[in-house]
Amino acid sequence: MLDERIETVLARLAGEDRDEREAGLGMIQRSRAIPATTGRFLFALCAGQPSCEVLEIGGSRGYSTIWLAAAVRILGGHVITLERDPAKLATLGATIEEAGLDEWVEVVPGDAYQTLPALSGPFDVVFLDAEKEYYEDFFGLVRGKLEPGAVVVADNVLSHADELADYSARRQADPTLLSVTVPLDSGLELTSVLTQELLSN
């Protein structure tokens, strides 16, 4: 459920992202916000789960974090967002507070290679939206923190197909998972951890 406060912040962030793209700002400097349709998808994925525990790897300035936090506050839950860029961290926490969602979000600064192993989990939903060359490593680091029924959503698998085709192929070939490429926006790899009952069938 999005209130006026959240919608105002989302609109501002989307406008900043659009302006930065039009100005030709480098990829590292841009906020690189997900499209609103991907945000709605993430919201729908989390909103119906009671006490939904979410991990976001790559929070940037908080656009996707807001969609996730707005979802988990409905039935209770928590979002942990990881971000290493100091410039983006400077605005991430303030953005979440501006949206009125700081009660549901924990910002963890630093390199995910160091911060992710220290997180206990388990997580119900993981949103992976970091540098593409690290996807495989990050999935490996988070895999042990996922119980049956958990879902991992990896962004940009179609817009960066050359870099992420192997990531999708590995998930789809793993018999302990059920994974499908969703052709929404930049492409999402939606990966579910199977229950023991499904594995035996």
Q: How many CA atoms lie within 13 A of 17 on its CB side?
A: 18
pLDDT at 184: 98
Mean pLDDT of the chain: 92
pLDDT in tens, 17-59: 787 777 765 656 556 789 999 999 999 999 999 999 999 999 8
Number of domains in the chain: 1
In this predicted model, what pLDDT tens digit does every residue of 2-17 receive, in sequence order?
Answer: 899 999 999 999 888 7
Structure token digits, residue 173: 């070939």
pTM of the prediction?
A: 0.92
Question: What range defines the domain where residue 183 resides?
Answer: 4-200
Q: In Å, how far are 66, 72, 96, 158 from 103, measured between CA atoms? A: 12, 11, 9, 34
What is the C-alpha to C-alpha distance for residues 7 and 188, in angstroms, rounded to an integer? 24
Find the CATH number of the domain harbouring 34. 3.40.50.150
Q: Which long-range contacts (CB under 8 A, 24 or more apart) does 172-178 make?
A: 175/199
Q: Do 122 and 147 contact (CB within 8 A), yes or no?
A: yes
**pLDDT tens digits, the chain, 201 residues: what are they?**
789 999 999 999 988 878 777 776 565 655 678 999 999 999 999 999 999 999 999 988 899 999 999 999 999 999 999 999 888 888 899 999 999 999 999 999 999 999 999 999 999 999 999 999 999 999 999 999 999 999 999 999 999 999 999 999 999 999 999 999 999 999 999 999 997 555 554
